[in-house]
């Protein structure tokens, strides 16, 4: 790109990334969410990750549906384009946007209502297409914006603020996506920035659908006793199954990773994720094993976190469609219009 954003004037001591931007250049408008809402912590993790990843802010395309969570793209990267679509339909809009221009970093933010209820179909079909995007599901077990109804991710037996008990089993997006063979499936906690930032960086570097389920407590409607998506409950039950360290393309893998349980995986841009097993039994590149581990851990009341399943090399939507790397949206006219002589030729078949 010939046009690069001028970094915002900031404190001279603020660290700069490879492009000369400070973290402030990745910030957005003031959040209007409740104080203490988990979604705001995720926003700051996205800001940090995009900064560390040195992505030109205007090369991000922010996509969301409807909900408190879906409002958050307004709160980061104000130099980039964003689209707050309709409830549950962000995956389709992201698919079309991506079809038109593969050359942007698509970051989708959604909620558990947006992705697992009204938008479950579109969400799974985006996975199936292996759409090249980061998809962050800010999971609080409730519909925050419509004031606290249970969502499809509410756990069996979990209690609503007003006292009623959820009687239907949850849709676990992580298990669902592993079963579908999604290419990058992770889970984290809004309160664990140390885990979340490298996961988002790895997701940005991954080519294909990179999904991160982030447990994100709703302080207003789902942070009480009896909730399984509260800060207290999550802190107690979250269980790191897999550490994922992100290593930028140029950097060497440190020797200690190469030994023992560490497993470096190279991504298409040359960067690497080094997976370290927290639990000896777990292999995040084996779909059947991962699925079996996740179902068992979940049944035992644990919330497995980390990069839980990774498959590199599966073609994304564009590779399957054999489209060029340059955006179709702005393709040269001579390449898209076949011209009058061709129209004549085509018509000869209809005489």
Partner 1 sequence: MTTTARRPGDNDFTIRIANVNGTGSASANSTLMKSLFRMGIPVSGKNFFPSNIQGLPTWYEIRVSGDGYVARSGRVDLMVAMNAETYRKDHADVAPGGYLVYDSTWPRSALFNRTDIHVLGVPLSRICNENFPTARARVLMKNIMYVGVLAALLDLDRDVIAALLKEQFAAKASLLEANQKALDLGYAYARENFSCPLPFRARTLGRTAGHIMIDGNTTAALGCLFAGATVGAWYPITPSTSLMDGFRKFCEKWRKDPETGKANFCIVQAEDELAAAGMVMGAGWNGARAFTPTSGPGISLMGEILGYAYYAEIPMVLFDVQRCGPSTGMPTRTQQADLMACAYASHGDTRHVLLFPSSPEEAFYAAVQAFDLAERLQTPVIVLTDLDIGMNDWMCRDLQWDDAYRPDRGKVLTAEQIEALPKFQRYVDADGDGIAARTLPGTHPKGGFFTRGSGHNQFGGYTEDSAEYREVVDRLLRKWDTAKTLVPKPVVETSERCRTGFLTIGSCDDAVREARDRLAAGGVPLDYLRVKGFPFGREVQEYLDSHDRVYVVEQNRDAQLRSLLLLETRTTQDKLVPVLHYDGLPLTAGFVIDAVNADLARGKAA
Ligand X SMILES: Cc1ncc(C[n+]2csc(CCOP(=O)(O)OP(=O)(O)O)c2C)c(N)n1
Which chain residues interact with ligand X by CB under 6 A?
66-69, 87, 111-114, 138, 140, 142-146, 151
**Interface with partner 1, residue 4, by CB under 8 A:** yes
- Kindly indicate which of the ranges 137-145, 176-184, 228-236, 333-341 contains the residues binding partner 1, using the contact rule CB under 8 A: 333-341
**Interface with partner 1, residue 54, by CB under 8 A:** no
Q: Which is nearer to ligand SF4, 142 or 297 (CB)?
A: 142
**Interface with partner 1, residue 93, by CB under 8 A:** yes
Pairing of strands 272-277, 149-150: unpaired
**Interface with partner 1, residue 56, by CB under 8 A:** yes
Q: 3-class SS at 320? A: helix
Q: Which is nearer to ligand X, 111 or 198 (CB)?
A: 111
Q: Which is nearer to partner 1, 98 or 230 (CB)?
A: 98
Smallest distance from Mg ion to CB 301, Å: 22
Q: Within the chain, how many helices (H) and strands (E) appear?
A: 13, 12
Please, what is the angle between helix 120-129 and helix 173-180, to 10°? 40
Beta strands in 278-350 (DSSP E): 303-310
Smallest distance from partner 1 to CB 290, Å: 25
Pairing of strands 133-139, 105-111: parallel
Q: Which is nearer to ligand X, 42 or 197 (CB)?
A: 42
Cα 14 off chain centre by: 27
Residues 190 and 188: their CA atoms lie apart, in Å, by 7
Which of ligand SF4, Mg ion, partner 1, none binds 86 (CB below 5-8 Å, type-dependent)?
partner 1
Q: Which is nearer to ligand X, 123 or 282 (CB)?
A: 123
Alpha helices (runs of H) in 61-147, residue ranges in sequence order: 68-71, 90-100, 112-116, 120-129
Q: What angle do CA 19, 248, 238 make, to 5 degrees?
A: 115
Residues 309 and 174: their CA atoms lie apart, in Å, by 9
Burial class (CB in 10 A: 0-12, 13-18, 19+), 7: middle
Smallest distance from ligand X to CB 174, Å: 16
Q: Which is nearer to Mg ion, 140 or 176 (CB)?
A: 140
Residues 100 and 327: their CA atoms lie apart, in Å, by 6
Secondary structure percentages of the chain, helix, strand, coil, to 5: 35, 20, 45
**Interface with partner 1, residue 20, by CB under 8 A:** no
Answer for the pair 94, 63: CB distance below 8 angstroms, yes or no: yes
Q: Which is nearer to ligand SF4, 52 or 155 (CB)?
A: 155
Q: Which is nearer to Mg ion, 111 or 170 (CB)?
A: 111
Per-residue contact string for residues 125-164; x = within reach of partner 1 by CB under 8 A: x---x-----------------------------------
Residue 341 in tokens:
């002589």
| Footprint on this chain of ligand SF4 (rule: CB under 6 A) | 33-34, 37, 39, 68, 140, 144-145, 218-221
**Interface with partner 1, residue 100, by CB under 8 A:** yes
Give contact residues for partner 1 (rule: CB under 8 A).
Answer: 1-6, 56-59, 61-62, 73-74, 77-86, 89, 91-101, 103-104, 121-122, 125, 129, 317-318, 321-324, 327-331, 333, 335-340, 342-343, 346-347, 350-351
């Amino acid at each position: 790109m010939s046009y690069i954003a001028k970094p915002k004037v900031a404190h001279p001591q603020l660290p700069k990334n490879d492009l000369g931007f400070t973290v402030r250049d990745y910030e957005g408008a003031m959040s209007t969410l409740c104080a203490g809402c988990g979604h705001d912590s995720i926003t700051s993790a996205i800001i940090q990750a995009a900064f560390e990843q040195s992505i030109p802010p205007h090369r991000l395309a922010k996509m969301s549906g409807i909900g408190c969570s879906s409002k958050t793209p307004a709160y980061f990267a104000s130099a980039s384009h964003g689209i707050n679509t309709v409830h549950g339909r962000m995956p389709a809009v992201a698919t079309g946007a991506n079809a038109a221009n593969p050359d942007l970093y698509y970051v989708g933010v959604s909620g558990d209502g947006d992705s697992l209820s009204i938008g479950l179909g579109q969400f799974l079909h985006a996975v199936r297409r292996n759409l090249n995007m980061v998809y962050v599901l800010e999971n609080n077990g409730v519909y925050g914006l419509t004031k606290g109804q249970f969502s499809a991710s509410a756990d069996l037996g979990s209690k609503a603020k007003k006292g009623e008990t959820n009687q239907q089993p949850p849709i676990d997006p992580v298990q669902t996506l592993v079963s579908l063979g999604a290419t990058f499936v992770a889970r984290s906690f809004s309160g664990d920035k140390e885990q979340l930032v490298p996961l988002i960086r790895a997701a940005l570097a991954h080519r294909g659908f990179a999904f991160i389920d982030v447990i994100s407590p709703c302080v207003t409607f789902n942070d009480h006793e009896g909730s399984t998506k509260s800060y207290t409950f999550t802190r107690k039950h979250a269980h790191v199954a897999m550490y994922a360290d992100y290593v930028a393309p140029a950097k060497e893998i440190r020797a200690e990773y190469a030994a023992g349980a560490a497993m470096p995986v190279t991504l298409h841009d040359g960067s690497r994720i080094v997976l370290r097993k927290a639990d000896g039994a777990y292999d995040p590149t084996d779909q059947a094993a991962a699925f079996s581990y996740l179902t068992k851990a979940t049944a035992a009341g644990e919330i497995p976190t980390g990069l839980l399943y990774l498959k590199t090399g599966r073609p994304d939507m564009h590779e399957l469609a054999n489209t060029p790397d340059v955006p179709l949206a702005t393709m040269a006219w001579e390449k898209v219009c076949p011209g009058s002589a061709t129209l004549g030729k085509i018509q000869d078949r209809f005489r």
